[in-house]
Amino acid sequence: MRNQVQLITYADRLGGDLPGLARVLRAPELDGAFGGVHVLPFFTPFDGADAGFDPVDHTAVDPRLGTWDDVRDIATTHDVVVDLIVNHVSADSAAFRDVQANGEASESYPMFLTMSTVFPDGATEEDLTRIYRPRPGLPFTPVRLGDRLRYVWTTFTPQQVDIDVRSEAGQAYLTSILEAVAAAGVSLIRLDAVGYALKTPGTTSFMTPETFQFIEAFTAQARERGVDVLVEVHSYYRRQMEIGRSVDLVYDFALPPLVLHALYTADGEALVRWMGIRPPNAVTVLDTHDGIGVIDVGPDQSEPDRPGLLTPAQIDELVEGIHHHTGGTSAEATGAAASNLDLYQVNSTFYDALGRDDQRYLAARAIQLFTPGIPQVYYVGALAGGNDMDLLTRTGVGRDINRHHYTPAEISDALERPVVQALLGLCRLRNHVPAFDGVLDVGLDGETVTMRRRGVEVPDAEATLVVDLATGQASIVWEHAGGSGRVEDLLSLSGYTTPRMS
């Protein structure tokens, strides 16, 4: 997989469908900016109860979006990343409906988890309170299976029924999805919600030793098919470091809140400290289809005495800072203010979280792109989009504030904006200057952060970023055999192009 910037997007919200997304990716305005694309769930149906993360048929492309041939076509020009939803399937899936109709007589019955699957002898209050929860309440929904009312395990919503990944039926189901995506030329799969996939009595049932064993075994299956694995887990930062040592790639979810904290307060100590210990085999993000995580920089939820990267007071200040910079719109979309809530995320676009300040926004993106790993830029962020209050009002779903449906005209207008053109130029620089395969040297001098990357395959290649956290002013200087350059204002990268390096 190329060490280049990737775009994260829904096919229907940026291009309308898979062929439309391919046209956007190949548009002259985006030439050289993105070497890969993470296409968020396009399975049947892509517009279910959780925007595609509750598939009825995870092996089928929703015909309203296209076919597997369309995915293969995108893979001819871009590395393709897709989601493999390992924890659950839609309650409307054929397999679960058969279980509802026939109960234990159904061939699919072993594929799904009930409370008694995990606790055959019953569960104590201590057993239940120990289970780690991403959302309020217990992870069970009463459902009639055949002639019996059972507590079905539903980690996220009643529409998302958890799979027993230890069962033969569950393993066969996941293997069938892996084979479908591998056959479509997919380079990388993201194991969505894998931290919750293994339920073990007497534990938190979140990122347990059994979870790591499952990830290791599934990663081996994927590698046999030429597919790498990215693990998606929001958790305590030391757990992320542990995950990073045992997988191909792990998300750096601590980066977004630390960048905001640094730019809000002009204090870069926590950010620089993280740069020294974070897993290098990471996918870096500032924004995704979910909210801005705060649990990733907080204390250990299982052992609160273990401090986080930020103190509780700093996290409170960060959350209030997001609400302030967005003019209060993020508060309307976060926590109990909106449905489908997550306890550990603030819902907002990253551009609005920085008060739509172009200079600070480009500085934040430059920090992301200089951080070791594979950078991913969310489609709303790529177009410097603001909070979609109309969509939030229509759906009442908090995360929809950052899931705008772009029309072709809106895409064209966004691509004319200097901040968007500068961001695309910054992505091209990151992709084509051969200084980003080596280690990072980072320094902090008062309110100024300096990040320097030196090439490995091209040892004379070097790129240096200097950010004044107090003002948001940033500059970049780079040098390699193919040329050199310097920009004192990142907005001057608008329209920047550089020759592709072999």
Query: What pLDDT, in 10s, does the model give residues 358-389?
Result: 999 999 999 999 999 999 999 999 999 999 99
Residues 391 and 464 reside in one and the same domain: no
Does the pLDDT at position 160 exceed 50? Answer: yes
The answer to whether residue 271 scores a pLDDT higher than 60 is: yes
Q: Is residue 212 part of a domain?
A: yes
pLDDT at 340 over 60: no
Identify whether 228 is a catalytic site residue: no
Residues annotated in a binding site: 50, 88, 190-192, 232, 289-290, 342-345, 399
> Are 227 and 352 members of one domain?
yes
Alpha helices in 114-206 (DSSP H): 115-118, 125-130, 168-183
pLDDT band at 343 (very low <50, low <70, confident <90, very high): low
Given 432, 464, 479, the domain boundary residue is 432
What's the rounded mean pLDDT across residues 238-242? 86
Residue 279 domain flag: yes
pLDDT value for 337: 59
Answer yes or no: do 105 and 202 share one domain: no
* Residues belonging to the chain: 502
Residue 499 falls inside a structural domain: no
- Residue 126: active-site member: no
Domain interval for residue 118: 94-162
Both 258 and 358 in a single domain?
yes
Say whether both 416 and 346 belong to one domain: yes
Q: What is the DSSP letter of 449?
A: E
Q: Average of pLDDT values for 165-194?
A: 95
Q: Give the pLDDT mean for 13-40.
A: 97
- The β-bridge partners of 192 are 85
Q: Are residues 211 and 182 in the same domain?
A: yes
Q: Cα torsion for 215, 188, 377, 41, to the nearest 10°?
A: -80
On whether both 211 and 352 belong to a single domain, the answer is: yes
Cβ-proximal residues to 106 (8 Å cutoff; 6+ apart), any chain: 98, 99, 146
Pair (336, 231) in one structural domain: yes
Contact 278, 308 (CB under 8 A): no
Write down the catalytic residue from 73, 192, 287, 332.
192
Q: Are 51 and 340 in contact (CB under 8 A)?
A: no
CATH number of the domain bearing residue 380: 3.20.20.80
Q: pLDDT band for 245, please (50, 70, 90 cuts).
A: confident
Q: Which helix (H) or strand (E) holds 153?
A: strand 148-153
Q: Using one digit for the tens of pLDDT, what is the confidence trace for 76-114? A: 999 999 999 999 999 999 999 999 999 999 999 999 999
In the listed set 388, 405, 432, which residue is the last one of a domain according to the structure? 432
CA torsion, points 189, 8, 263, 453, in degrees to nearest 10? 60
As a whole number, mean pLDDT of residues 115-122 equals 95
Domain boundary among 134, 162, 190: 162
Going by the annotation, the residues of the binding site for substrate are: 50
Evaluated on CA atoms 74, 78, 79, 84, the torsion sign reads: negative
- Is the same domain home to 48 and 196? yes
Q: Do residues 254 and 397 share a domain?
A: yes
Residues 139-146: what's their mean pLDDT?
96
Q: Of the residues 62, 232, 248, 296, which is catalytic? A: 232
Q: How many domains would you assign to the chain?
A: 3
Q: Which residue has the higher pLDDT, 469 or 234?
A: 469
Q: What is the CATH number of the domain that holds 104?
A: 3.90.400.10
Q: Are residues 211 and 117 in the same domain?
A: no
Within this chain, do residues 347 and 474 fall inside the same structural domain, yes or no?
Answer: no
Contact 142, 149 (CB under 8 A): yes
